[in-house]
């Protein structure tokens, strides 16, 4: 299949969480601690283990997939994960699990998790980092 005729898969789910647990007998996934934002008192902010679960279908053949995290205001890639996915059948549902250890967010604001297949953007997920000012902290005044 050429790049011009490549059919990209449908993204059923893109979920950020604290952990993904896979049952050894059934292969069922449990997603623990779902979130779409974090609040921090210190910047840059480090998330020690940031997990991203993805569910895809309607894919065809072998596809290189890339998951990136970028600030919303510029295309600078903060971190990325790559995998090649083999779709045996378009009805197949493929689950992916990326783990980003020590994910670093340099400032408060909006970020985007972007999933690409063969260079085409499939899905984008917003992620917010907020800075909390601790009462009695006179760093700002």
Give the total number of structural domains in the chain.
1
30 domain-assigned: yes
Q: Residue 59 and residue 14: Cα distance in Å, rounded?
A: 16
* Structural domain includes residue 118: yes
Over residues 7-19, the pLDDT tens digits come to 789 999 999 999 9
Domain membership of residue 81 (yes or no) is yes
Write the CA distances from 78 to 34, 86, 88, 98, 112, integer angstroms: 21, 27, 32, 15, 10
Q: Does residue 141 sit within a domain?
A: no
Evaluate whether residue 136 is within a structural domain. no
Domain residues for the domain of 106 are 3-131
CATH of the domain at 117: 2.60.40.2550
User: How much is the pTM?
Assistant: 0.88
Strand ranges in 72-138 using DSSP code E only, listed in sequence order: 79-87, 94-105, 109-117, 120-131
Give average pLDDT by consecutive 10-residue segment, the chain, 141 residues: 64 97 96 97 95 96 96 94 94 96 97 96 97 70 38
């Amino acid at each position: 299949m050429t790049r011009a005729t490549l059919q990209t898969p449908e993204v059923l789910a893109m979920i950020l969480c604290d952990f993904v647990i896979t049952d050894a007998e059934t292969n069922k996934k449990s997603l623990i601690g779902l979130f779409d934002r974090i609040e921090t008192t210190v910047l840059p902010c480090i998330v020690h283990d940031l997990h991203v679960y993805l569910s895809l279908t309607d894919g065809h053949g072998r596809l290189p997939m890339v998951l990136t995290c970028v600030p919303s205001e510029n295309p600078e890639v903060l971190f990325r994960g790559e995998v090649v996915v083999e779709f045996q059948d378009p009805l197949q549902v493929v689950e992916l699990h990326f783990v980003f250890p020590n994910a670093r967010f340099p400032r408060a604001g909006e970020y985007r998790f972007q999933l690409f297949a063969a260079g085409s953007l499939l899905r984008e997920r917003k992620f917010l980092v907020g800075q909390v000012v601790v009462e009695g902290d006179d760093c700002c005044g």
